[in-house]
């Protein structure tokens, strides 16, 4: 081992294979210059890591928020208007009842849920007078068509503000499962950094406010079992069959 090799190895001492570590320590034992250099590097690392942390001045956050136009209610670009209307959209699994705001889909139901029941679940939201549209807005029809054409929908077409943080992470991850594929609940749990939370993932998927479009039906059990479905297993099977999975 040459001194030049030592220089490189010192930078990654924690990850070296055993034989290299041994060769390195042998060289360090023999070579005074490399030993001094290694000592210097260790010392400097310690000193740099020990520099006192400086905290941001208190004025920084308000200044940033003022510059981006946040910090005032109602200005945030992301604020959605809640539900403005709903409509029945034809689909290969029967009519989907879709409720939407100005620019995002808020809720979906299907499988024999009556319009009256669906409208009742929407009442009490921000807008009490929910419109029943005879035909869905073009963008809503396009989103549904995109889904059944196997295209992945962007997260921004959904309004998930009523969903708690954990559930939202689960749903956004489920949105990434491609058409024609399934993933175990445990996979979703791992992907969002909560391995071991497979059961909670299942529950969060069961509360998916926009089923079908956020494809919670593509989550199954690790042993190949279908798992559950809020609208009944028959519909889950139909949705999967449509994607030629079963």
Q: Are 168 and 87 in contact (CB under 8 A)?
A: no
48 part of the interface to another protein, by CB under 8 A: yes
Residue from 1, 13, 80, 238 touching another protein (CB under 8 A): that is 80
- Beta strands per DSSP E along 73-182: 85-89, 96-100, 105-109, 131-132
Could you tell me if residue 139 is left (phi over 0), alpha (psi between -120 and 50 degrees) or otherwise beta? alpha
CA 208, 214, 217, 219: dihedral to nearest 10 degrees? -90
First and final C-alpha spacing in the chain:
59
Among 68, 120, 233, 241, binds another protein (CB under 8 A): 68
220 forms beta bridges with 184
**Residue 96-135 contact track with another protein, rule CB under 8 A, x = bound:** ----------------------------------------
Number of chain positions touching another protein (CB under 8 A): 59
* Per-residue contact flags (x/-) with another protein for residues 165 to 184, judged by CB under 8 A: xx-xx--x--xx--------
Q: How far is the CB of 225 from another protein (least distance, A)?
A: 27
Active site annotation includes 3 = no
CB of 61 to another protein, least distance (A): 5
**Subset of 3-42 contacting another protein (CB under 8 A):** 7-8, 10-12, 28-29, 35-37, 39-42
d(CA 11, CA 6): 9
Task: List, by residue number, the catalytic residues.
Answer: 216
């Amino acid at each position: 081992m040459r001194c030049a090799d030592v220089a490189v190895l010192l930078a990654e001492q924690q990850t070296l294979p055993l034989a290299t570590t041994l060769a390195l320590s042998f060289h360090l034992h023999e070579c005074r210059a490399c030993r001094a250099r290694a000592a210097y590097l260790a010392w400097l690392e310690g000193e740099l890591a020990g520099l006192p942390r400086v905290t941001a001045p208190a004025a920084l956050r308000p200044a940033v928020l003022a510059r981006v136009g946040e910090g005032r209610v109602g200005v945030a670009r992301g604020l959605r208007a809640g539900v403005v209307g709903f409509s029945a959209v034809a689909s290969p699994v029967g009519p989907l009842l879709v409720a939407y705001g100005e620019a995002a889909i808020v809720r979906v139901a299907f499988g024999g849920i009556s319009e009256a029941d669906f409208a009742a679940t929407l009442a009490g939201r921000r807008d009490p007078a929910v419109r029943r549209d005879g035909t869905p807005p073009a963008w809503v029809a396009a989103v549904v068509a995109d889904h059944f054409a196997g295209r992945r929908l962007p997260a921004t077409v959904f309004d998930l503000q009523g969903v708690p943080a954990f559930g939202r992470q689960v749903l956004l991850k489920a949105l990434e499962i491609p058409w024609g594929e399934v993933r175990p609940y445990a996979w979703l749990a791992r992907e969002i950094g909560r391995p071991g939370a497979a059961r909670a993932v299942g529950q969060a998927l069961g509360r998916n406010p926009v089923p079908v479009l956020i494809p919670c039906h593509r989550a199954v059990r690790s042993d190949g079992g279908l798992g559950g479905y809020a609208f009944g297993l028959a519909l889950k099977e139909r949705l999967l069959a449509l994607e030629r999975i079963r």
